[in-house]
Structure 1
Amino acid sequence: MTPALKTSKLALGTVQFGFKYGISNTYGQTSLKEIGEILKLAFDNGIRTIDTARHYGTSEENLGNFKLDDYNIVSKYFDTNDEKTLRQSLDESLKSLKQKSLYGYIAHSTSTLFEHPELWDILNQLKAEGLVQKIGASMYAPQELKMLLDKKMVPDLIQIPFNIIDNRFEPYFPILKSYGTEIHTRSAFLQGIFFMDYNKLNSYFSELVPFLKELNSNFPDSNSKAGFLLNHCVSNNNIDKVVIGVNNAEQLSQNINSLQQEIPSVNFSTDLRISEKILLPSNWPQN
């Protein structure tokens, strides 16, 4: 896979465009000026997908200050329980982003679809009306995907966590591809924890320390480490897009450059079977 093709598989995560996000984020919320610089750099390097959500603070409004017609925008709805609130949420996203339609419109949580299965028919109606191209869900555990498929809600697009220590969804990749489902992944860097000093981590993360030590031993500088972690995701042929969040154009440039280098394969001696208390940031202690 060429470096250009690898870069084109990246998608811009934009939660930090709306508020400070990430355990390793020392920059705070991304400014409008920086958002513009990020979008230009992304476009110049073949990145054409933006991931956002109505509940990402002011992310959609801030993105709407820029020309986005050449991007595929995926947004998420949250806390909707009927046709009125679903359509209202979509309308607010479209107005904020200054778009007539969205590439993807997915549930932030599968619980919304499980509690209100009638929403699936409404989402398909939104597709028929040309307001969205693809529907689906963001999810955290494979059990959610199994339940979705069991209920015959075959997604056009899903977003799931995937990284060097989290391959829980991988057994489902072949069946998803047989359905034509587009697979977007997040958490390539696990909110940046792979780059943090393991000596300063909360004891809650002690299970992860042996892996972090070995990761640092193999990739002592952040550029080669980022390249290794991103390559693990973009080189998976079943994955269509790898969503990464950046706070400024310099970070995006570093990530793009990290994909240009040759990355050696590494066989880790430490056990990579990490529990969900680590894999899911929603489980982490607040401080």
Structure 2
Amino acid sequence: MTAALGLGSAQFGTDYGISNPRGRVTEDEVRHILQYAADCKILPIDVAFYDGDVERILGRCWPFPSPFKPQIRTQSLDKGLDWIEARLKRSVDHMGLARAHAALVDCPEDLMGAGGADLWRRLEALRGNGMISKIGISAHIDDEPLLLAKRFKPDIMQVPVSILDQRLVEDGTLEALADMGVEVQVRSVFTQGLLFVPREGLPASLQPFGPHLSKLRRIMAEAGTDPLHAALSYVMNLKGVSTVIVGVTSAAELRAIVAASERPKPDLPWSGFALSEDRILDPRLWFLPDDELPQKPASHVIKAA
């Protein structure tokens, strides 16, 4: 069984993606994308408050009644629990809805501190009163998603996984999460389009990885496939994954993704495509000079409630 598709919305509010030469998507195109997504029953919509004015854009562009299942994000715990709750409600209101499908903790570090248990209880209360149906966590690998899931028992855990970043597959995290009954969503499946960028178009910091990316594309071509099909096939057929979040800049791109998702999985040496260097796997580091790269943090210790 393959995973279902979900739609990211960052491109609707910002100039997002290393392979996106057109910048922010126009509202007319957003309407076309959403209509095609609705026609294809692609219903999860991942929404972040920091992606420009994306909440209001969605509210203006999607069909009513909306068939979608929007997922909204928490702001920093530094602003306090009341502010977090008010901002979640505002997100729902901006989208012209009465409720959201899910709320995801956007900064897992908030859960690891002294106020983490209170934050989670507040989200549970919002789930209880019907403003949201599910609660979850959007995590990176260094947030130790499996430990978070064991402590908080989220409905949803969203993590980055791709043909280049197979770390959570190799260490068994994805399967372990699914075995706990957690809905596993994967994002960054195209690494912001990195697989589609020619070697000469890579940022200076990623030039050392150019030969590996070129080799991958050559292997894919020799197997009769392409980066879009290969990257999508890899994540959609991973054991334990329920939803694959993809971002697009046009309805044509979404049509191509849907078509690729319906093709059989190609026969490729999947494990040989993986990389382990944070420099390429974490887009937050792409444009930092070498002397500003963060040191590897020590493992987080999650405090008991």
Q: Note whether the superposition's TM-score is higher than 0.5.
A: yes
Q: Which moved more, 1:207-216 or 1:84-93?
A: 207-216
- Letter of the 1:26 counterpart: P
Matched, 1:126 2:123: no
Distance 1:271 1:162, change over 3 A: closer
User: 2:225, 2:266 within 8 Å by CA — same for their partners in 1?
Assistant: no
Structure 1 outlier segments of 4+, above 4 Å? 220-223, 268-271
Alignment of 1:182-201 (within 5 A): 182-201=183-202
**Equivalences, count:** 281
Q: Percent identity?
A: 26
Give the corresponding residue for 1:70: 67
State the AA in 1 paired with 2:84: L
**Quick check: 1:40 aligned with 2:35?**
yes
Counterpart residue number, 2:210? 209
Provide structure 2 residue ranges, at least 5 long, that are not aligned to the other structure. 290-305
Q: For 1:78-227, what aligned pairs fall within 5 Å after superposition?
A: 78-81=75-78, 82-115=80-113, 116-117=115-116, 118-149=118-149, 152-170=151-169, 171-220=172-221, 224-227=226-229
Unaligned ranges ≥5, structure 1: none
What secondary structure does 2:158 align onto? strand
8 A contact 2:162–2:234 mirrored in 1: yes
Query: In 2 relative to 1, CA 193–200 (structure 1 residues): closer, same or farther, beyond 3 Å?
Result: same
- Secondary structure (helix, strand or coil) at the match of 2:167 reads coil
8 A Cα contact 1:223 1:254, kept in partner: no
| 1:181 alignment partner AA | V
1:255 to 257, 263, 266: 257
State the AA in 1 paired with 2:133. Answer: Q
Which residue type is aligned with residue 131 of structure 1?
M
Do the aligned residues in 2 keep the contact of 1:54 with 1:89 (CA within 8 Å)?
no
SS in structure 2 opposite 1:20? Answer: coil
| 1:7-56 Cα distance to aligned partner (Å, 9 max, x none) | xx111100111111111111111111111100111111121111111221
Q: Identify the residue that residue 11 of structure 1 maps to in structure 2.
A: 6
TM-score, length of structure 1 as denominator length: 0.90
Quick check: 1:211–1:270 contact (8 Å CA) kept in 2?
A: no
Q: Write out per-residue CA displacement over residues 212-256 of structure 1, whole angstroms, 9 at most, x where no aligned residue.
A: 122221334997321111010111231111111101111111111
Give how far 1:202 is off: 2.8
CA distance in 2, matches of 1:143, 1:91: 26
Larger mean Cα displacement after TM superposition, 227-236 or 266-275? 266-275
For the Cα contact (< 8 Å) 1:35–1:248, is it kept in 2?
yes
CA distance in 2, matches of 1:133, 1:167: 30
